[in-house]
Structures are given as C-alpha cells and as structure tokens.
Amino acid sequence: MSTEDPRAAGLAAPAGPIADRTRAAGLPALLDGRAWTAGELARHAGVAPSTLSEHLDRLVAGGLLVQERQGRHR
C-alpha cells in the first residue's frame, strides 16, 4: 500500500523543469513580466543563447512558460 500523498505528484511535475541550474538562473529575470529574448536571458544566465533556447523549450513543454512571437523573436 502506497502512503504517498497524491499532492506530491502535483508538486513534483513543475519542479522537474526548474531543477536544472541553467533553467533556474533565467527564471528570476522572467518574474518582472517583461518579454525577454533568448539572447537577453542567456546573457543574464551566463550561457550561450543556443543553450538557453533548449532550456526554454523544456520550460514551454512543461507548461511553465508561454512563448509569443514578436517579429523574428519568440
């Protein structure tokens, strides 16, 4: 018989995508409500834009971020 609290799965689901240091480094910047480009967030997090772009894709896939297109930026 499992004694796991059913709420634990609800807490663990969003925790996985933010548990990575690189992803977590960019998230505080997003709390200001501005639309940041991947390049801006990459500079903030101290990583290459391509690296941060992959991390952003994971956060979008996990439902933690929404991406919008603005010209050539997303």
Q: In this predicted model, what pLDDT tens digit does every residue of 5-61 receive, in sequence order?
A: 888 877 877 788 888 888 888 888 888 888 888 889 899 888 998 998 888 888 888
d(CA 69, CA 74): 4
pLDDT at 2: 60
pLDDT at 62: 84
Half-sphere exposure of 14 (CA within 13 A, CB side): 7
pLDDT at 22: 82
Helices (H), 1-74: 7-18, 21-30, 38-45, 49-61
pLDDT at 48: 92
